[in-house]
Amino acid sequence: MATKIDKKYNPDKDYPYFLYNPKGNGFEYFRTKELRDNCASDEVQAYLDDAWDEQVTNIVVGEVTGQASMVDLEVKPTTTDEEGVDGEGSYWPDGCDCRCDYKVMPVGFVCPSTNQLTQKWR
Whether pLDDT at 116 is above 70: no
Pair 54, 33: CB distance under 8 Å: no
Q: How far is CA 121 from CA 23, 108, 110, in A?
A: 40, 22, 17
Q: Virtual CA dihedral for 88, 90, 94, 98, nearest 10 degrees?
A: -90
Phi-psi region at 95: left, alpha or beta (left = phi > 0; alpha = psi -120 to 50): left
Cα separations in angstroms, 14 against 7, 18, 55: 10, 12, 30
Cβ burial, residue 27 (10 Å; 0-12/13-18/19+): middle
Q: What pLDDT digit, counting tens, does each position of 28-57 carry?
A: 999 999 999 999 999 999 888 777 788 899
Among 65-69, 73-77, 117-121, the minimum mean pLDDT is found in 117-121
- The count of other CB atoms within 10 Å of the CB of residue 19 is 25
pLDDT recorded at residue 78 = 87
Instruction: Answer whether 0.85 is exceeded by the pTM.
Output: no
Is residue 120 scored above 80 in pLDDT?
no
**Whole-number average pLDDT of the chain:** 89
